[in-house]
Structure formats: C-alpha cells, structure tokens
Structure 1
C-alpha cells in the first residue's frame, strides 16, 4: 500500500481475515492512534505511513490484530 491509499471497508477486511468486524474496528483505532492511518468517517481509513518511511524504526514491531492490510503483513 502507498501513502493516502484507502484500506478495505471494515466488513471486507473482516471477511478477508475471518474475524468479527468489531475486531477490525478496534485494530483500525489502534493503528490510527499510532499515527499509521487516518480515519475519515463515511469515507474510509487511509494509510499515512509505509514501510519505506524513515519513521518505521520509531514504530517498532506491530501486531496486526486482523488489519494486515494496514501494515502489509500476511
């Protein structure tokens, strides 16, 4: 994913990784709190950082919590 690209809709992300949509919402909030994405209500969740960014080292290892689209892990 690139900066400013949207993540999948909550229902689609939940379906892709076979988790409850609430889990995806919690993961979205966590990565938003960490500054990795920005949520725009009614529009979507957008990437604000990529693994190519110099800030990667500052963020350290992450847990995907069902939102692997956000960090690129599988």
Structure 2
C-alpha cells in the first residue's frame, strides 16, 4: 500500500481510491502467490493524513484560490 500511495499526490489518492484498491490487490496477490493465498478485495475506507500534511494541503488550496482570483481580477481590468 505504501509503495502505491508513494507514487501519487494526496489529491489523486482521494480521486483514484478504486484504482489504488485494484493495484494493491494485484501487488498482494503477486507477493502471496507462492503461499497459496489469494486476495479477493482490498478497500481503503478512510484516509487521514497527519496534521502537518493537512495544513499544507489547505494552504496550497488557499494559495491556488487566491491566484485564480487575482487572474480573474487582472483579466477584468
């Protein structure tokens, strides 16, 4: 799971949860095939990033919102 999550951004994690679940099932099955185990389903139910990450994402979203507002204002002038 960590290797799959490490390859995408936090925003993509929320958007592509189903794809992540499928990739993780494939990875588990590859790792467990010699043991005779098969994973049928994997589900990411909740994503709770650490406070510092959440704060950074909120700051980024706020900065993007301000940037868009400035662009719209400058185009209006």
Question: Is the TM-score greater than 0.5?
Answer: no
Structure exhibiting the larger radius of gyration computed from Cα positions:
2
Q: Which has the higher contact order (CA 8 A, sep 6+)?
A: 1
Q: Which has more strand, going by share of residues?
A: 1
Q: Could you state the TM-score of these two structures normalised by the residue count of structure 2?
A: 0.25
Q: Could you state the TM-score of these two structures normalised by the residue count of structure 1?
A: 0.26
Q: Which has more helix, going by share of residues?
A: 2
